[in-house]
Every structure is written in C-alpha cells, then in structure tokens.
C-alpha cells in the first residue's frame, strides 16, 4: 500500500501544513511504509497529480491535507480508479466533511490514518463533478462566492469568514426563482432564499443544513428555504447553524425538506452553485446519488455516523 500525502500549503492560511509534514516524516521515515509528500502549486494541481500517480496500478491512499476544496480535487480524480482510496487530514478553513464522523479529531492523527481501513461511502454526482458533502445554491452559495474577500483577515476562521460574507450578501437582492423536481415525480417551485442537495449534514464552516443526512444511506437530503425578510433571516441563521431549523415552529412554513435519489433544479437566470465549496454557475442542473462510490480511508478509532459502511474490497 502506497500512502501519498497531498498538502495544500495555503489552506487554512497555512497554519498547520509544516507541522503535518514534520509529523508524517517523524512517524514514517524509519518504518517499512511506502509514502510520499506532495505540495500543490496551483488550483487543480491535486487532481492532475492524482491522475499521474494512478498509472501505477498498485493500491494507493491519497490523503488530502487541506480544506474541503483540496478534498474535492482529490476525490474527483481518485473516483476513476478502483485501486485508489481517499483520506483527509483537515487543515482548511471549513473542514465540514469530517464532521460526519464520530471521533473526528483522529483525522489529524497520522498513526491512526495509516493503520485505518478503507470503506465505501456515497457521493452526489452534479453533472461531471462529484460531491462528498453538500451542493448548494442561493443566498448561501452567494456567501460562499464572496468568502475570498474575508479569508485573509487575521484571526478570522472559516466560520467567521462565512458570517462576514453572509452579512455582506444581506445587502444585496435576495431570492431565486426556481423549479425543483425530485425523482422525476415530485415538483415544487417558488422564490427561494437558498437550497441544498446534501450527502453530508454540514457546510460553510459548520452550518448544519441537512441534520438528517448520512453519508452512507443511499439518498440525497434536500432542503429549500423560501424567500423571507432580512429580519427573519437573522432569526434563521442560529437555527440553521446548529441544525434545529426543521424543529423551529417559526420557520416550518418556509422550509421544504425531502429525501430522494435525483434532483433537477431549473432557474430562469444564471445562478451560483457550490459543489463542496467549489464555485460554478448554471441555469439547469441535475444531481444524483451514487451509492458506495467513494473508497474512503477511515482512521483507526473513527466511525461513520449512522449505519456501519461496507468495507472496500
């Protein structure tokens, strides 16, 4: 088994990457473990690097050492290779994917990583991209598009950047006119503040948009929030962050929450889309769940929230 650590040197403002490399070397360099450390140089480099390493057909684990964006690149390359697995050592500004696991602090433990096992997890396919966590549109996608304006402010964390971006977007026009089709047989439409097609339950640095979502249950969790006043949005944010918005009586008339296998979203204009934090623009898009499509490295001592996943062969 080859262990390849892909480090994004700018993720999370570069706070912990050198420490991760030092820990990897101190633990593995004197052991009979084949490993390599690679530093990405530009956006898209992780994907190209994974493709180049997969020409060797021996089993390999690629550890994404960065944020959700680094993980997204690694996953979208590795998914094409049956002999490749993906792990994550979180050091970005969001790190939402690991929140779908129990004892997720162990993702930072190199020894737990290399002694772990590979399991099968679901992913969402959005056109030609795969998402492990959340695809989102509307107000929160606009906030994600503008997060870069705040990421370089000292002492501001991922969730802090998101909050600042949310406040920034509150000053702009709110609401997207959309038609949404689930499993080709259930349709709803209207003007929506935001909407998500979720595999995992969190995004945006800890906002629990889909509190019922599990990453191995074979379905997409869909949550759409109708347009509301700016004053009511301020009341939504707290519930939306801690995942209690589905139980909030004041919000029940504004929220549509469903589980499905496929989602089609049709807009009357081009709107922003985030796929695991990566930004795109579309007018019509399809999502589908792809069960057990991700070979994922589960560190020793970590378990998946919900039912036990199938081990990869």
What would the DSSP string read from start to end of 76-137?
HHHTT-TTEEEEEEE-SS---GGGGEETGGGGG-HHHHHT-EEEEEEEEEETTEEESSEEEE
Phi, psi of 98 (to 5 degrees): -70, -15
Q: Which of 70, 59, 63, 68 is nearest to 20 (CA)?
A: 63
C-alpha–C-alpha distance, residues 311 and 313, integer Å: 6
The CATH T-level fold of domain 2-130+292-304 is: Rossmann fold (3.40.50)
What is the pLDDT at residue 90? 87
Model pTM? 0.91
Q: Where do the structural domains in the chain lie, given as residue ranges? A: 2-130+292-304, 133-291
Residues (pLDDT < 50) of the chain are none
Q: Locate tokens 């290399």: which residue?
A: 114
Residue with tokens 């403002």: 13
Answer yes or no: same fold for 2-130+292-304 and 133-291: no
| Residue 97: exposure state from Cβ atoms within 10 A (0-12, 13-18, ≥19) | buried
| Cα–Cα distance for residue pair 146/165, rounded to 1 Å | 6
Which of left, alpha, beta for 14 (phi over 0: left; psi -120 to 50: alpha)? left
- 253 phi/psi in degrees, rounded to 5: -80, -5
Q: Are 150 and 157 in contact (CB under 8 A)?
A: no
pLDDT value at residue 226: 97
Q: Is 312 within 8 Å of 119 (Cβ atoms)? A: yes
How far is residue 97's CA from residue 157's CA, in Å, rounded to a whole number? 16
**Is 3.20.20.70 the CATH classification of the domain at 133-291?**
no
Task: Give dist(CA 124, CA 217) in Å, integer.
Answer: 12
- Looking at residue 39, its pLDDT comes to 95
Residue 114 · residue 92 · CB < 8 Å: no
The long-range contacts involving 279-285, CB below 8 angstroms and separated by at least 24 positions, are: 279/141, 279/144, 279/145, 280/129, 285/126, 285/127
With contact defined as beta carbons under 8 Å apart, do 306 and 102 qualify? Answer: no
């Amino acid at each position: 088994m080859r262990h390849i650590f892909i480090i994004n040197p700018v993720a999370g403002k570069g706070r912990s990457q050198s420490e991760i490399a030092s820990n990897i070397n101190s633990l593995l360099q004197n052991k009979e473990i084949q490993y390599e450390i690679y530093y990405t140089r530009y956006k898209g480099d992780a994907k190209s690097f994974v493709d180049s390493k997969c020409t060797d057909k021996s089993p390999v684990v690629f550890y994404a050492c960065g944020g959700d964006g680094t993980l997204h690149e690694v996953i979208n390359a590795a998914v094409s290779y049956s002999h490749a697995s993906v792990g994550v050592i979180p050091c970005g500004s969001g790190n939402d994917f690991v929140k779908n696991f129990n004892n997720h602090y162990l993702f930072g433990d190199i020894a737990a990583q290399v002694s772990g096992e590979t399991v099968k997890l679901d992913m969402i396919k959005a056109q030609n991209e795969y998402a492990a966590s959340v695809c989102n549109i509307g107000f929160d996608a606009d906030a994600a598009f503008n997060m870069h304006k705040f990421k370089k402010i000292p002492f501001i964390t991922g969730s802090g950047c998101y909050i600042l971006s949310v406040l920034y977007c509150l000053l702009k026009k709110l609401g997207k006119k959309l038609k949404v089709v689930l499993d080709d047989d259930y349709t709803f439409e209207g003007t929506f503040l935001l909407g998500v097609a979720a595999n995992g339950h969190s995004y945006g640095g800890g906002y629990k948009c889909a509190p019922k979502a599990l990453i191995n249950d074979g379905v997409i969790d869909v949550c759409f929030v109708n347009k509301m006043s700016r004053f009511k949005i301020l009341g939504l944010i707290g519930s939306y962050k801690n995942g209690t918005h589905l139980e909030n009586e004041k919000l029940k008339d504004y929220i549509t929450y469903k589980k499905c296998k496929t989602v089609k979203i049709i807009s009357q204009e081009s709107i922003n889309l985030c796929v695991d934090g990566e930004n795109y623009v579309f007018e019509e898009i399809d999502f589908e769940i792809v069960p057990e499509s991700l070979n994922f490295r589960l560190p020793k001592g970590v378990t998946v929230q919900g039912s036990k996943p199938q081990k990869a062969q």
